[in-house]
């Protein structure tokens, strides 16, 4: 999408089209000839995996919309009709519901990879911000999609989340009513959620286009975190990364298929197979697993408004990250201290996820009662989430800004090719003489 | 790095997948072996037929099964599937089962509400005309619809089986409310009805359904001994099938997909190694 | 020790072997490893083994080369896409509940001679006509007329039930619903584009190519039919 193009139209038609709409050139430059650092590892395949996830969600979603009825009296039955009567409807529906989980799994790996290798640093800030926008759109889309089957968890989840907006002072209640189209989550709410749930994936696809554009201007970051210096450092995207991404996608699909075909309801909540009943709330309201960390942050804060602010803040941190991290070194390979804090951060987000799935008063160590702090036992999920929330924010607001100024990074390689060369210098003599070296 | 990451991810999933504890308590469901377990598990058709009979003669007196039509019984994988009769609507068993039911309809000429014998396309009729009627006949409790029952309960088949076979004499010191029955496998909190040591409140809760099964309550046509345990297992197998009648289709399709993807991954990996063979990276 | 490179399934087999056995001893002396051992740091290889494969790259070493493995992988990808396409297409075919509702029963006793009842069947109108003797006679008379879609009247009703004509009430031209009593042949007339059908529902004039279709039906008793 930028700079020099090596595309040479071959056939007459290609030449004719290239002058009028250079779309083949665009595809060639971005997917075939695009110079890509040759040291990308498997963590870098998740971009391709995510593109596949988005594609699957859009295709299966369009199919589901052909059979789904967005009406409170019929939504639940229409989903069951898809699973029981529509030809291969069970396949499409389970692909879509598990696909959402797979999409988030992949996006989290993709995001942690970006965090680890400093992919948000100059000159890739816009690339990162667009990624954050995609993530936010994904959350909203997933939330609205979860409401559509109109089961107990759909309904009461929608009630809880829309009520969060009521925390906004003065205008909150008015916004909530506007969002509901009534005085509770009801038919108008379901209809608008369906409409927006259909719309948003196309918005995501649009931002993904920008995301890829913003990737192709500065080019890929890489595990070494150093800039591409010469042609030696890169390989063309095709066939090198098409085949590597293809392999990773295939392995990812294996895991996806294992869920779809052999445990399709493992990631969902059983209660959502009970039709929505506004008069009875399920014993334990939880969001889907991919939103549990945010739910834990929400509940860690005793005040309603502050809880919402912290939850929003957790995502806002990601937007601010490029300017919070003061280190000039991109990859944490060369930042041993930061690497340690990063792994703690990964574990902390998982702890938050665990806390989000528990009742706040549950004990961490069963049977042990310690002392009460701020009206809660210190040995309780709520306190664990508070500590984890504190680390989450400290990581962005204190650790990354301070560490960049105080730490001593390891020496970075001169170029992407350098560590490879020095590595092979240590290899056995016979290996150095092996044919592959000449390639 | 990669391996470490996967280990972390697995750990994370283990955390998230862990059981969530509620304020209520219940006995862990009994461990039962089911023929339909696992990626290759299949339903036992004879068991499904027995299970249907238990449903018909016991459960259906109070429980609806709104999402099921008679024709479903004759579809592939169903209790009365006959490979000779591809179209479940023409299945003779299905037709005769449907005929035994009286379905509400409206006379197309007079507009009167009439009853007519069921057809394959009809849904299983609801035992009660509406929800208040169902509640009124069951001491205020609504017998849940059975079409999604196994899918909709944490613990699935084992949980339903445990409830059916888990009724116990209420322990001394427990005041069981009228119209309720103590069942340790039912999630609940009986501390308000417990007069002895408050630290030793029994596990479990109260259920409004009286113990539904009894020895020889249902006569099995295939000669299987009709114990409570057998009836419970059979009806749970049937209800599991009812919850997801496409289970077998899904599993066999899935097996083919997995094998295909494994071979495909192997091919891509070989292709990948070959393409990258010349690049030091 | 130079050996010809494996062109067909050899590399695939080697690769599988390598996957099965993470240790290095699969690399036989004299065989060229598929990939360089030093590419992977943890991959221990005895130096003698590697040293024993001093093969040079020849001109055909273009990584784009379409050898067996690449072709097989591409074919498998196309196959997978094709395989997945079928469920996604088939889902638009009638669902099981739609197929189940595809038959209706109807009581004929209330339809008087010369009258027609229209009921809905598979989403379309179904004409159930109790024909008068005059209509039947006129239909039989035209059995050997110059018909666009030749059929005798006997072929269009059940044997011995000439008074009952059951037709799918959509014009074979473009699907409009013809009205009875119009047209030049005493039968149906389609208002959309002017097709004329006779009292047996046969096309006689106008753009429609076929006679009005007769659905599959059976008489359950003298006064009851089941359509579909």
pLDDT in tens, C157-204: 998 899 999 999 999 999 999 999 888 898 999 999 999 999 999 999
Q: What pLDDT score does B176 carry?
A: 92
Contact A427 C51 (CB under 8 A): no
Tell which of C95, C98, C101, C102 to mutate to test the A interface (max A CBs under 10 Å).
Answer: C95
Angle at A196 between CA A181 and CA A272, to 5 degrees: 80
Q: Which of residues 184 through 213 in chain B touch A, CB cutoff 8 A?
A: 187
Listed residue (B34, B36, B52) closest to B146, CA to CA:
B52
Spell out where chain B has E strands.
Answer: 102-106, 113-117, 181-183, 205-207
Whether residue A132 contacts residue A326, with contact meaning beta carbons closer than 8 Å, is answered with: no
| Biggest distance spanned by C-alpha atoms of chain C | 104
In this prediction, residue A422 has a pLDDT band, given cuts at 50, 70 and 90, of: low
- CB crowding A58-74: b at 16 or more within 10 Å, else e: bbbbebbeebbbbebee
Confidence check: pLDDT of A157 > 60: yes
Please tell me the least confidently modeled range out of A346-350, B1-5, B123-127, B183-187: B1-5
Q: What pLDDT score does C19 carry?
A: 41
Angle at B200 between CA B195 and CA B204, to 5 degrees: 90
Percent of chain B whose pLDDT exceeds 90: 73
Residue B270, Cβ neighbours under 10 Å: how many? 27
Distance CA C21, CA C18 (A): 5
Percent of chain B whose pLDDT exceeds 70: 91
* Mean predicted lDDT score pLDDT of chain B: 88
The winner for highest mean pLDDT among A80-84, A165-169, B30-34, C18-22 is A80-84
- CB crowding B220-246: b at 16 or more within 10 Å, else e: beeeeebebebbbbbbbbbbbbbbbbb
Q: What pLDDT score does A150 carry?
A: 97
- How far from chain centre, in Å, is Cα B13? 26
Q: Which of residues 173 through 212 in chain A touch B, CB cutoff 8 A?
A: none
Q: What pLDDT score does A360 carry?
A: 82
Percent of chain A whose pLDDT exceeds 90: 83
Nearest CA in chain C to A424: C38
pLDDT (tens digit, 9 = 90+) per residue, A61-114? Answer: 999 999 999 999 999 999 999 999 999 999 999 999 999 999 999 999 999 999
Distance CA A393, CA A378 (A): 20
Number of alpha carbons in the 13 Å side-chain half-sphere of residue C191: 4
Residue A335, Cβ neighbours under 10 Å: how many? 24
Beta carbons within 8 Å of A221's beta carbon, 6+ residues apart: A37, A114, A117, A118, A119, A124, A330
Q: What is the mean pLDDT of residues A263-282?
A: 94
Please tell me the least confidently modeled range out of A121-135, A269-283, C6-20, C86-100: C6-20
Nearest CA in chain B to A418: B281
pLDDT (tens digit, 9 = 90+) per residue, C128-148? Answer: 999 999 999 999 998 988 899
SS3 A376: strand
Closest-CA distance of chain B to residue A382, Å: 14
Distance CA B58, CA B61 (A): 6
Nearest CA in chain C to B69: C97
Whether residue B36 contacts residue B42, with contact meaning beta carbons closer than 8 Å, is answered with: yes
Confidence check: pLDDT of C22 > 80: no
Confidence check: pLDDT of A333 > 60: yes
Confidence check: pLDDT of A311 > 70: yes
Whether residue B270 contacts residue A256, with contact meaning beta carbons closer than 8 Å, is answered with: no
Whether residue C127 contacts residue C227, with contact meaning beta carbons closer than 8 Å, is answered with: no
Listed residue (C193, B156, A17) closest to A9, CA to CA:
A17
- Which chains would you list as touching B if contact means 3+ CB atom pairs under 8 Å? A, C
In this prediction, residue A3 has a pLDDT band, given cuts at 50, 70 and 90, of: low
Partners of residue B9 in chain A, C-beta under 8 Å: 105, 109
pLDDT (tens digit, 9 = 90+) per residue, A4-24? Answer: 788 999 899 999 999 999 999
Residue B6, Cβ neighbours under 10 Å: how many? 12
| Nearest neighbour of C15 by CB, restricted to B270, B275, B280 | B270
pLDDT (tens digit, 9 = 90+) per residue, A193-228? Answer: 999 999 999 999 999 999 999 999 999 999 999 999
- How far from chain centre, in Å, is Cα A410? 30
Beta carbons within 8 Å of A336's beta carbon, 6+ residues apart: A410
Provide the whole-model pTM: 0.85
| Nearest neighbour of B89 by CB, restricted to C63, C80, C100 | C100
Distance CA B165, CA B183 (A): 9
SS3 A434: coil
Q: What is the mean pLDDT of residues C81-102?
A: 88
Partners of residue C70 in chain B, C-beta under 8 Å: 271, 274-275
Residue A141, CA distances (Å) to A104, A172, A199, A203, A291 in order: 12, 21, 9, 10, 12
Contact A283 B280 (CB under 8 A): no
Contact A243 B268 (CB under 8 A): yes
Q: What pLDDT score does A292 carry?
A: 95
Closest-CA distance of chain A to residue C63, Å: 8
Whether residue B146 contacts residue B124, with contact meaning beta carbons closer than 8 Å, is answered with: no
Listed residue (C153, C109, C116) closest to C132, CA to CA:
C116
Contact A86 C63 (CB under 8 A): no
SS3 B186: coil
Residue A324, Cβ neighbours under 10 Å: how many? 18
Q: Which of residues 73 through 112 in chain C touch A, CB cutoff 8 A?
A: 73, 77, 87-88, 90-93, 95-98
The winner for highest mean pLDDT among A43-47, B197-201, C139-143 is A43-47
Distance CA B111, CA A377 (A): 67
| Nearest neighbour of C73 by CB, restricted to B268, B277, B281 | B268
pLDDT (tens digit, 9 = 90+) per residue, B82-138? Answer: 999 888 888 999 999 999 999 998 876 788 898 988 988 899 999 999 999 999 999
Residue C115, Cβ neighbours under 10 Å: how many? 13
Tell which of C5, C15, C50 to mutate to test the B interface (max B CBs under 10 Å).
Answer: C15
Confidence check: pLDDT of C39 > 90: no
Partners of residue B261 in chain A, C-beta under 8 Å: 250, 253-254, 257
Contact C45 A436 (CB under 8 A): no
Catalytic residues of C: 193
Distance CA A98, CA A91 (A): 10
Distance CA C190, CA C196 (A): 7
Task: Judge whether C19 is closer than 8 Å to chain B, CB to CB.
Answer: yes
Please tell me the least confidently modeled range out of A52-56, A228-232, C6-10, C102-106: C6-10
Confidence check: pLDDT of C42 > 90: no
Spell out where A5-150 has E strands.
Answer: 35-37
Q: What is the mean pLDDT of residues B3-13?
A: 45
Listed residue (C174, C175, C171) closest to C188, CA to CA:
C171
Strand partners, C189: C179, C196
Residue A421, CA distances (Å) to B274, C41, C154 in order: 21, 13, 91
Contact B5 A109 (CB under 8 A): yes
Tell me B188's DSSP state: B
pLDDT (tens digit, 9 = 90+) per residue, A337-371? Answer: 999 999 999 999 999 999 999 988 888 888 777 77
pLDDT (tens digit, 9 = 90+) per residue, C53-62? Answer: 333 344 444 5
Distance CA C32, CA A95 (A): 43
* Mean predicted lDDT score pLDDT of chain A: 91
Distance CA C43, CA C37 (A): 6
Whether residue B270 contacts residue C19, with contact meaning beta carbons closer than 8 Å, is answered with: no
Confidence check: pLDDT of B4 > 60: no
Confidence check: pLDDT of C225 > 50: yes
Q: What is the mean pLDDT of residues A120-135?
A: 97
Tell which of C59, C89, C91, C100 to mutate to test the A interface (max A CBs under 10 Å).
Answer: C91
Nearest CA in chain A to B41: A262
Q: What pLDDT score does A427 carry?
A: 41
Q: What pLDDT score does B281 carry?
A: 64
Distance CA C112, CA C117 (A): 10
- Which chains would you list as touching C if contact means 3+ CB atom pairs under 8 Å? A, B
Beta carbons within 8 Å of B172's beta carbon, 6+ residues apart: B196
Confidence check: pLDDT of C16 > 60: no
Q: What pLDDT score does A284 carry?
A: 86
Confidence check: pLDDT of A263 > 60: yes
pLDDT (tens digit, 9 = 90+) per residue, B255-271? Answer: 999 999 999 999 999 99
- CB crowding A118-132: b at 16 or more within 10 Å, else e: bbbbeebebbbbbbb
**B262 or A434, which is more confident?**
B262
């Amino acid at each position: 999408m930028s700079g020099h193009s090596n595309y040479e139209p071959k056939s007459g038609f290609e030449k004719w089209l290239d002058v009028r709409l250079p779309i083949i050139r665009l595809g060639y430059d971005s997917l075939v000839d695009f110079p890509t650092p040759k040291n990308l590892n498997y963590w870098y395949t998740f971009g391709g995996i995510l593109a596949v996830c988005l594609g699957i969600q859009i295709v299966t979603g369009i199919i589901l919309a052909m059979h789904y009825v967005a009406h409170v009296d019929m939504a639940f039955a229409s989903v069951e009709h898809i699973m029981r009567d529509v030809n291969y409807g069970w396949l499409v529906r389970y692909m879509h519901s598990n696909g959402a989980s797979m999409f988030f799994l992949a996006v989290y790996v993709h995001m942690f990879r970006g965090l680890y290798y400093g992919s948000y640093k100059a000159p890739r800030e816009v690339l990162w911000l667009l990624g954050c926008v995609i993530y936010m759109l994904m959350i909203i889309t997933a939330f609205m999609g979860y409401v559509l089957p109109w089961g107990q968890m759909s309904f009461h989840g929608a009630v809880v989340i829309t009520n969060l907006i009521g925390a906004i002072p003065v205008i909150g209640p008015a916004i909530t009513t506007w969002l509901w189209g009534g005085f509770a989550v009801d038919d108008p709410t379901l209809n608008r959620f369906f409409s927006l749930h259909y719309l948003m994936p196309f918005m995501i696809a649009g931002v993904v286009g920008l995301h890829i554009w913003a990737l192709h201007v500065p080019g890929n970051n890489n595990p070494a975190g150093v800039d591409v210096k010469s042609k030696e450092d890169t390989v063309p995207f095709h066939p090198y990364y098409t085949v590597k991404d293809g392999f990773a996608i295939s392995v990812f699909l294996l895991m996806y298929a294992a869920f779809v075909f052999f445990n399709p309801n493992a990631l969902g909540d059983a209660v959502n197979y009970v039709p929505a009943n506004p008069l009875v709330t399920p014993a334990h309201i939880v969001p889907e697993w991919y939103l549990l960390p945010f739910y834990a942050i929400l509940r860690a804060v005793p005040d309603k408004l502050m809880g919402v602010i912290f939850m929003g803040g957790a995502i806002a941190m990601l937007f601010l990250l490029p300017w919070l991290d003061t280190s000039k070194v991109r990859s944490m390979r060369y930042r041993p201290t930061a690497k340690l804090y990063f792994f703690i951060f990964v574990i902390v987000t998982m702890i938050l996820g665990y806390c989000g799935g528990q009742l706040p008063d549950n004990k961490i160590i069963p049977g042990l009662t310690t002392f009460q702090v701020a009206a809660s036992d210190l040995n309780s999920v709520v306190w664990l989430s508070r500590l984890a929330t504190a680390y989450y924010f400290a990581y962005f607001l204190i650790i990354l800004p301070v560490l960049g100024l105080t730490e001593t990074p390891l020496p970075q390689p001169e170029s992407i090719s350098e560590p490879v060369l020095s590595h092979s210098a240590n290899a056995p003599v016979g290996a150095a003489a092996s044919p592959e070296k000449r390639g | 790095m990669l391996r470490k990451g996967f280990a972390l991810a697995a750990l994370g999933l283990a955390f998230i997948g862990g059981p969530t504890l509620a304020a209520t308590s219940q006995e862990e469901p009994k461990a039962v072996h089911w023929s339909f377990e696992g990626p290759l598990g299949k339903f036992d058709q004879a068991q499904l037929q027995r299970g249907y009979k238990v449903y018909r003669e016991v459960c259906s007196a109070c429980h609806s099964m709104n999402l099921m039509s008679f024709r479903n019984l004759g579809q592939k994988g169903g209790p009365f599937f006959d490979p000779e009769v591809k179209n479940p609507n023409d299945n003779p068993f299905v037709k005769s089962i449907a005929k035994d039911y009286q379905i509400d309809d409206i006379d197309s000429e007079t507009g009167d509400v009439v009853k007519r014998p069921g057809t394959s396309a009809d849904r299983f009729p609801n035992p009660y005309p509406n929800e208040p009627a169902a509640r009124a006949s069951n001491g205020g409790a609504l017998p849940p619809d059975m079409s999604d029952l196994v899918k909709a309960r944490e613990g699935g088949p084992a949980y339903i089986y445990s409830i059916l076979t888990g009724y116990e004499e209420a322990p001394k010191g427990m005041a069981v409310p009228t119209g309720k029955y103590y069942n340790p496998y039912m999630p609940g909190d009986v501390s308000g009805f417990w007069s002895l040591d408050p630290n030793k409140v029994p596990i479990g809760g109260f259920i409004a359904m009286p113990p539904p099964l009894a020895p020889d309550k249902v006569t099995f046509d295939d000669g299987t001994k009709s114990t409570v345990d057998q009836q419970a297992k059979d009806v749970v197998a049937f209800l599991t099938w009812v919850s997801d009648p496409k289970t077998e289709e899904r599993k066999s399709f899935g097996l083919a997909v997995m094998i295909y993807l494994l071979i495909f991954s192997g091919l891509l990996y070989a292709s990948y190694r070959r393409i990258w063979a010349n690049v030091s990276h | 020790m130079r050996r010809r490179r494996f062109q067909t399934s050899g590399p695939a087999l080697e690769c599988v072997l390598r996957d099965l056995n993470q240790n290095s001893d699969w690399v036989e002396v004299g065989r060229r490893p598929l990939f360089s051992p030093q590419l992977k740091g943890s991959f221990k290889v005895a130096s003698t083994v590697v040293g024993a494969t001093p093969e040079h790259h020849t001109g055909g070493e273009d990584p784009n080369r379409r050898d067996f493995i690449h072709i097989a992988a591409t074919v498998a990808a196309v196959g997978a896409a094709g395989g997945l396409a079928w469920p996604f297409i088939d889902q638009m075919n009638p669902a099981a509940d739609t197929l189940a509702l595809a038959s209706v029963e109807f009581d004929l006793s209330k339809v008087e001679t010369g009258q027609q009842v229209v009921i809905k069947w598979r989403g379309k109108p179904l004409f159930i006509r109790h024909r008068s003797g005059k209509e039947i006679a006129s239909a039989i008379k035209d059995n050997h007329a110059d018909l666009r879609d030749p059929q005798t009247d006997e072929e269009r009703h059940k044997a011995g039930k000439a008074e009952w004509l059951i037709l799918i009430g959509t014009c074979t031209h473009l699907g409009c619903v013809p009205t009875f009593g119009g047209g030049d042949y005493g039968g149906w007339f389609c208002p959309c584009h002017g097709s004329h059908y006779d009292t047996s529902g046969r096309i006689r004039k106008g753009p429609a190519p076929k006679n009005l279709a007769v659905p599959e039906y059976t008489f359950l008793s003298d006064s009851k039919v089941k359509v579909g």
